[in-house]
Amino acid sequence: MARIVVLGTGFAGNTAALNLKKELGSKHEVIVISPRKNFSYVPSLVWVGVGSMQPEKTQFDLEPVYKKHGIIFKEGAAEEIRPDSRDQYVVVKYSDGKTEQIKYDYLINATGPKLNYAATPGLGPDAGYSDSICTLPHAVKTRDNYLKAVEKMKQGKRQKFVVGTGHGTATCQGAAFEFIHNLEFDLNRRGVRRNADITWISNEPALGDFGVGGVIVKKNGNLVSGKLFAESTFLEKGIKWVERAHVRKVEEGSLDYVNIEGEEGKLDFDFAMLIPPFAGIPIAYIDKDGNDIKSQMCVPSGFMKVDADYLSAAKPFEEWKNSDWPKKYNNPVYKNIFAAGIAFAPPHSISKPFKAPDGTLIVPSPPRTGMASGIIGHTVALSIIDMVKKGAEEATQQASMTEFGAICITSMGKSMTRGSAALLTMDPVVPNYEKYKFGRNLNYTFGDIGLAGHWVKYMLHYLFMWKMKGKFLWQFIPD
Amino acid sequence: MEDKSVKDLTEYVPYSKEARSFMAPTKYTVFIRTFIPWQLVKFIYYNLKMLRVLLKGHGRFMDT
């Protein structure tokens, strides 16, 4: 009997666990470890943040799901991984302070990100002055602060809103872009838009970069940059913007930034929603002699090393290759340990990195959430299934972000009759300039804005909640 | 305090840096984006577009 331990219950972890159990059956054990027993549908937290979706609609309890599928669930935090002792195991700490050693034959690290608010002084809802929609509690707090600002506007007071990224290396610009548009849409709906000044701030080299190096799409007989589309949405909604910027510090009611050109600026705000940079979940890696081997297992930001070329990060952008990116997501030293979703360390950014004159790095980190997470989690599960069933010595399946495509739906207002969303399909996720002149296959790369995009986003919310609950025919819903 | 790095295209300024790469939706485009009969057609079209990407992407779970 093989035992597979999955750390994390997000898109990557849950997809992997459900697929592993489906294929391996009762002869083998699948154990999921997470400090949270709820699955959170993060893409809809933008709606929670402006009060247009009830928080409970984005959550469900995983325990009955795992019980039904025969998956063992441990509600605790993985604190330590012992990868090369005779009995490889994970040390789990429970909420009552007790610890347990859980042995494994195969391990999937799908722990997601640590929200690194500490990278920018004053950033974040817990010890800072900005809000966030990265977790449900943060999205609820954001909603409460947003509604307070709305009440002030109803009394005729002008309010300043700043939305974007809170650090030069943050990711998830797409989520912030969704939030600023939903905020603007909701202010209109509430009849207080005239009392709002809305400003976007981001570390993207240009609007519409979204951390994937931008996109070129066919439109009305032309090839058009996504930058123009992104700018046109801000123009239409009367939103100002600051791009190529690193937020240096956030204070009560204002933030300071520097951009790639070295221009320093300050934005005043009454409400700010800023996405933090991500880091790896802090887990200790200890070898058989008790030595800390984290530096061998992880990059400095704490994400786990997989089969990527990490030496390529030192090369100039023009020398980066598609072969730098991982295909199988197994650790190069311990082939039975995999990382999926945000937990794996990308070799470098996708977008071109820039530095401010003072040396501050300003570049979006590669997004690897949502669909990419699901695909990677599924791929890793299929490899482990082959290793267990067929006796393969190492991973057999591959899914490189330079090969597979992704669908992104960016909500721009939640209403079944007046809402809209930008639908973007791209193939591949990481531009492949060795293969395609514009980096992507233009027959599969597509972008459009409209109400139908909102219907798709709304449909996918319920479709993926169904899939993640492992309900009837879940396996036929794509990742 | 706001400075020159804040881009404001709410008013079109001829020959400004921002005006060099200008694009804005027309009233017709804004209307058609929420015109339900047309959006129903788009909904079907979007699903076919997504299906195409999914079929291509999911064919890449391959043995090495």
Does residue A11 form part of some domain?
Answer: yes
Query: Of chain A residues 401-430, which have a CB less than 8 A from chain B?
Result: 403-407, 417-420, 423, 425, 427
Beta strands per DSSP E along A202-297: 216-219, 222-225, 240-242, 245-251, 254-259, 264-268, 271-275, 278-280, 284-285
pLDDT at A434: 87
The confidence score (pLDDT) of residue A191 equals 97
Domains held by chain A: number: 1
Are the beta carbons of B23 and A228 separated by less than 8 Å? yes
Residues of B in contact with A455 (CB under 8 A): 39, 43
On whether residue A260 sits in a domain, the answer given is no
Size of interface A-B (CB pairs under 8 A): 130
Whether A206 is in a domain gets the answer no
Specify if A109 maps to a domain.
Answer: yes
Q: Is residue A472 part of a domain?
A: no
pLDDT value at A452 more than 60: yes
> Around Cβ A311, how many Cβ atoms within 10 Å?
9
Min Cα–Cα distance to chain A from B53, Å:
6
CATH of the domain at A370: 3.50.50.100
Torsion sign, CA atoms A167, A168, A171, A172: positive
How far does CA A457 lie from the centroid of its chain?
A: 17
**At A201, is the secondary structure helix, strand, or coil?**
strand
> In this predicted structure, what is the pLDDT of residue B8?
72
ipTM of the complex: 0.91
Name the phi and psi angles at B43, rounded to 5.
-60, -45
A439-452 residues labelled b (16+ CB within 10 A) or e (exposed)? bbbeebbbbbbbbb
Position B21 scores a pLDDT of: 77
Q: Is there a domain that residue A17 lies in?
A: yes
Q: Are A200 and A420 in contact (CB under 8 A)?
A: no
CA distance B15 to chain A (A): 17
- Residue A384 belongs to domain spanning: 3-115+278-389
| pLDDT digits 0-9 by tens, B29-46 | 999 999 999 999 999 999
Question: What pLDDT, on the 0 to 100 scale, is given for residue B64?
Answer: 43
pLDDT at A141 over 90: yes
CB-closest option in A236, A241, A404 to B25: A236
CA count, 13 A, side-chain hemisphere, A472:
0
Q: What is the pLDDT of residues A271-296, one digit of tens each?
A: 999 999 999 999 999 998 999 999 99
Query: Which DSSP state fits A145?
Result: H
Q: Yes or no: say if A307 and A344 are a contact pair by the CB < 8 Å rule.
A: no
